[in-house]
Structure 1
């Protein structure tokens, strides 16, 4: 992520974990067991901190909103959680959040412990407006359907692709059909503990 201060023309970064065969989940009931060894590792925690600290707006879909708000408040308050986990939880709770959904309404968001969240409906138009607003960069949090839509609209500037050494054989693919694009490699990070690789690609 960019470490720049407030500015217009913000970059959109998409962070997503995928299997070796290109799936971001096994489907609607994905329990994420296939990637939890990596997610819970200290190496992963340090890596993700370098991504989210550069963002001033988080973008996510309904599934991740419901999953995150069910789990993260407890992690944030748990004294057994690491300092980085608690910091990330506080950031998630307070950062500007746009939740793209066809079913939730604002009252659903307001019932949670998290603040500064609003409903988004028109993905392309609202993300274009966010890019032109003052602020730090925009981070899409592991929501494959949102990332697909933004990729198709040419609105993803940075792609943080974490590849877990597991094949799922089916589920939700990250890249939409017939999507062709060219990227440049910024960094490649290896995680020996989980045999995982994270690749940061960008569009100049």
Structure 2
């Protein structure tokens, strides 16, 4: 498939532990295991490389509430890393699609600016976005959405930050039944704290 006819690129990003988990077993919202590593240069540069080419963000409701409840405050935070400020400004200003069965999908009813709420399968929504005009479609850290897109073989770039911890339990990103497909490494970086930033390109 050529660059001209493949449509927009769907890029997903998620932090995972060394034993392949994306959340703690007893509290999926506790991200304390992520924080020591998310503020490293490797992790920040990795995220910057993903959001800069993206013109649409796709998020699940839980992730949208977490991200959009926190990141806007970073814009005016004294001493904030410029890369964090850049991501915060991008997130506020970018067109956002939030997948939710509980939020009001009426146009203009979303609690965040430049946001459309969709109560449809992630694969259906993202396939429509992929066929439209624009830059990359970034799914930042919404595992339920990423799982659906992987199952539908709609991910063009799979980005991961691997943090050097074992969680010993909790949900995994990769489950049995995924399509048997090939990937090639597109970007890789390692930091002194043991963080790995990886991006794999889908071979089509």
Superposed pair shares fold, TM > 0.5? yes
Q: Tell me the equivalent position of 1:71.
A: 70
Q: Tell me the equivalent position of 2:191.
A: 191
Trace 1:121-140 onto structure 2 (pairs within 5 A).
121-122=119-120, 123-140=122-139
RMSD: 2.2
Q: For 1:52-86, what per-residue CA distance to the aligned partner results, in whole angstroms no more than 9, with x for missing partners?
A: 10101111111111111221121122122122221
Conserved 8 A contact 1:100-1:119: yes
| Aligned-partner Cα distance in 2 for 1:162–1:189 | 10
Gaps of 5+ in 1: none
Conserved 8 A contact 1:9-1:132: yes
Q: Secondary structure at the match of 2:15?
A: strand
Gaps of 5+ in 2: none
TM-score (norm 1): 0.88
TM-score (norm 2): 0.88
Conserved 8 A contact 1:8-1:134: no
Conserved 8 A contact 1:8-1:133: no
Deviation at 1:21, TM superposition (A): 1.1
Deviation at 1:201, TM superposition (A): 0.7
Count residues in correspondence: 197
Q: Tell me the equivalent position of 2:168.
A: 169
Q: Tell me the equivalent position of 1:17.
A: 15
Rate the CA distance shift 1:99–1:80 in 2: closer, same or farther, 3 A: same
Conserved 8 A contact 1:17-1:142: yes
Q: Secondary structure at the match of 1:170?
A: coil
Q: Secondary structure at the match of 1:161?
A: strand
